[in-house]
Amino acid sequence: MIPVTKPYLPSREKLNRYLDGIYERQWLTNNGQLVQELTQRLEDYLGVENLLLVTNGTLALQIAYRALRVCGATPGVQAEAITTPFTFIATASFLKWDGVQPVFADIDPDTWCLNPANIEAVISPHTQAIVPVHVFGNACDVETISAIAEKHNLKVIYDASHAFGVKYKGESLLKHGDAATLSFHATKLFHTGEGGAIIFKRRDDLERAKKMINFGITGPEIIEELGINAKMNELQAAMGLCVLDEMEENHTARAAVWHRYEQALSQTLRLQAKPQALDYNYAYFPVVFESEEQAVRLAATLKENGVLARRYFYPSLESVECLGAEVDQPVSKEIASRILCLPIYSSLSLESIDKIAGIVTEAANG
Catalytic residues: 188
Distance CA 106, CA 87 (A): 11
CA–CA distance, 348 with 326 (Å, rounded to integer): 42
Q: Give the number of other Cβ atoms within 10 Å of residue 88's Cβ.
A: 18
* Cβ neighbourhood burial of 30 (10 Å; 0-12, 13-18, 19+): exposed
Q: Where are the beta strands (DSSP E) in the chain?
A: 51-54, 79-83, 100-104, 127-131, 155-159, 167-168, 171-172, 179-183, 196-200, 217-219, 222-223, 278-279, 286-288, 339-341
Burial 169-204 (b: 16+ CB within 10 A, else e): eeebbbbbbbbbbbbbbbebbbbbbbbbbbbbbeee
Residues in Cβ contact with 318 at an 8 Å cutoff, skipping those fewer than 6 apart: 85, 104, 325, 327, 328, 329, 332, 333
C-alpha–C-alpha distance, residues 360 and 366, integer Å? 10
CA atoms within 13 A on the CB side of 5: 20
Half-sphere exposure of 211 (CA within 13 A, CB side): 17
CA-based radius of gyration for the chain: 21
Q: What are phi and psi of 129, to 5 degrees?
A: -160, 160
**Bridge partners, 103 (sequence order):** 82
Diameter of the chain measured on Cα atoms = 69
CA angle in degrees (0–180, nearest 5) for 55-57-63: 75
Q: Which residue type, as a one-letter code, is found at position 327?
A: V
